Amino acid sequence: MPRLTAAEEDIFQLRLERSGPDLWPMLEALYGHREDYPAFREALLAELHAAWAARPADLKRLDLRRDLQPDWFQRPEMAGYVFYIDRFAGTLKGVLDRLDYLADLGVSYVHMMPCLKPRPGDSDGGYSVMDYRAINPAYGTMRDFEAVARALRARGISLCVDLVLNHTAKEHAWARAAAAGDPRYRDYYLMFDDDRLPKEYERTLVEVFPDNAPGNFTFYPEIGKWVWTTFNEHQWDLNWANPAVFLEIVGIMLFLANKGVDVLRLDAVAFMWKRMGTRCQSEPEVHMILQALRAASRIAAPAVIHLEEAIVSPAEMLPYLGRGMHDGKEGNLAYHNSLMVQFWSALASRDTRLMTHVMGTHFPPVLTNATYATYVRCHDDIGWAVTDEDAAAVGLSGPAHRAFLSEFYEGSFPGSFAKGALFQVNEATGDKRISGTCASLCGLEKALEAGDAAAAELAVQRILMGHALIAAWGGIPLVYMGDEIALLNDYGYRDRPDHAHDSRWIHRPAMDWEAAATRHEADTPAARVFRGIRHILARRRATPALHGAVPTEVVRCEAPGIFAFLRRSPTGAVLCLFNFSESWLHLPVAWVQGLGVAGLHDLLSDRPVEPHGSNIALPPYARVWLG
């Protein structure tokens, strides 16, 4: 174990004093009633100290820099790119050859999709992990991973990786020991001798994958146990009521931090605590655990922040960014699922009234020491998270609108420009989720098939409007691999037995490097989309008002096809306008000026906006940042 200097020991103690009040009360509430709590506390303190001692010198320097710049992840120069290693570059070594491409796009944050060692065969896209301290051998080694992390860090690019907290693969060493009868490791999971308690729990649980993995428990005759398996049979839920699990995860978390990870994407966090008679989602103890995990990072690796993956309703999502006793102390980032859903909803309906209601009613203008990860598409399906109450508030039927969106983006609704695929149709509830690439859902695939140049141009404008929206809202905009060159649906997944059952692989195509090579010269949709997104990210970097700590205020306007919000910064207000229709729409200049916008200059195009009489005219799918 490396020896700490006196100064380093002082730094550790100061950080322990700073973040201990966020750590120990949570752990006492969770585990303080147990006889083994004092020993657990001592073991955790030793783990934190050892991780700090082992932390490389350059990362300790990064810790200091980010302690002095705690808003580093909220700054407008932050922009993310998300990819599967094999589909983007083949291997980790291949990623090193593509760093110039990322820099060209304007990326300062990279999320490499699940890269820790998964179980063989179906691994839920890599989220069924059998070794948290090893890299998927198909991608390379931990040494290769560290080399990529160093190369990214040298370019000022932060690295995000997934850490699955709710479950492990059944092939994980802990699970194998549990299956073999080791009582210590059986307490790492939720195992039952008969189905009496599982049936009681099932009364209030929901099914995540009803088509492929119905129910939440699996019986294993070879060990005579029922095991809690929320997601898939091969994913065993961890027992977070056992402090040994917390201690193990802290050790893994800090191990990855010391390998160069900047952002830990904590996966499936909503499901971590179980309580009879509930959905076993977002229970209060989940937030206690997550606050304690963040405090542990701030003590031993404060350069690291946490992205908490909870794709839930706004009221349920916001606590993951800290609310009440956890305000400013829990997650630093959370996915803005509602912004993504409302983008696609307004795009299909050409009506932003629902979007304005949801975004203006349910989300605060600013967050404490936290911000959103905003996105148009991701690796997952789109679930139509539109409540009946929100739909009714603007005169819609919730079930009818959700059905309309599924049919529209599947492509079966008359007049739809989109082409997607249904995912996990639930006949009992009518829930139909959608898969598809951004470009195909925006209409490019149908337009190219029809040879319709005008329709293809509209599709390009939809793609660019969506990315201008996520860049302006506030947070870190994430570009999903291939969206920047308008990749279309990949139907080849149907020919792979391990993918054929999961339509989400339709929007996980391999990177088209031939198309990417022509991105600066060609007049193709792919090249125009790349140059457009590159420009959006560059203009974002040049616009201080888009800092994540600047309030975002949704405003209502007369034209139902326009979505509008203000970013009120100390240097002046910026009004962000988005036309969600293929028609020209108009807004009164007096209305804009009444909102406190000083001038008619578009910060996105960096050009003046000329009024037409007393109105501002917005062309189809316009995006304007007035300031």
Which residues have a catalytic role annotated? 267, 309
> Which among 109, 98, 104 has a CA at the least distance from the CA of 480?
109
Cα dihedral 254, 260, 262, 267, rounded to 10, equals -60
Token pair belonging to 398: 């919730």
What is the spatial distance between Cα 568 and Cα 574, in angstroms, rounded to a whole number? 6
Q: What angle do CA 45, 250, 192 make, to 5 degrees?
A: 115
CB 264 within 8 A of CB 304: yes
Of 430, 439, 502, the C-alpha closest to 466 is 439
Place of tokens 């193990």: 248
Q: What is the CA radius of gyration of the chain?
A: 24
Contacts of 161 (CB under 8 A, 6+ apart): 111, 112, 115, 116, 256, 261, 263, 264, 265
β-strand pairing of 109-112 with 158-164: parallel
Residue 120 is classified by DSSP as: S
Q: Where are the alpha helices (DSSP H) in 32-161?
A: 37-54, 57-68, 85-89, 92-96, 99-105, 142-154
**Dmax of the chain from CA atoms?**
80
DSSP output for 174-228: HHHHHHTT-HHHHTTB-EESSSHHHHHHHTT---SBTTTB-SSEEEETTTTEEEE
* Residue 106: strand, helix, or coil: coil
Q: Pick from 380, 389, 458, 382: which is nearest to 417 by CA?
A: 458
* Amino acid at site 127: Y
Q: Residue 87 — φ and ψ, nearest 5°?
A: -80, -20
**Nearest in space to 436 (alpha carbons), one of 419, 449, 448, 424:** 419
What are the helix (H) ranges across 270-371?
284-300, 314-317, 337-349, 353-362
Q: Outline where DSSP puts E strands in 391-531.
A: 421-426, 431-435, 476-480
Question: Which residues have CB under 8 Å from 514's CB, separation 6+?
Answer: none
Tokens 């203008």 locate to: 365
d(CA 115, CA 148): 12
**In Å, how far are 110, 356, 419, 484 from 488, measured between CA atoms?**
22, 29, 10, 11
Other CB atoms within a 10 A radius of the CB of residue 401 amount to: 20
Residue 479 phi, psi (nearest 5): -95, 120
